[in-house]
Amino acid sequence: MPVEPERWEHIPDYSASNPADVVSRKLLREEMEKAYRYLSPSQVELIRSLYWEGYSFSEIACMRNEPIGSIKSRLHQALKVLRNHLVPEMEG
């Protein structure tokens, strides 16, 4: 999914991280991408916006024209689904 130029400022710069952090983050991102299949497209976009692109709850609520409480509730449900699918894989 391409990112519009006006949103580039929200993308965190991890180029200064040490190599171990970069590898760990890449592996985590790959596991997350696999787990996304259990989420709705709206939940995936919410997680990407908040955790990968660095938007705040209020920014996401404004972009979606929704109350912050709805955003937080949807995030809670999405994280619950991810936890159920990621934790067993990481423990095994």
Q: pLDDT tens across 32-73, in order?
A: 778 889 999 999 999 989 988 999 999 999 999 999 999 999
Count of CB atoms within 10 A of residue 12's CB? 11
Give domain limits for the chain: 17-91
- pTM of this prediction? 0.62
Asked: is 17-91 a CATH 1.20.120.1200 domain? The reply is: no
Return contacts of 39-44, CB within 8 angstroms, 24+ apart: 39/78, 39/81, 39/82, 42/74, 43/74, 43/75, 43/77, 43/78, 43/81, 44/78
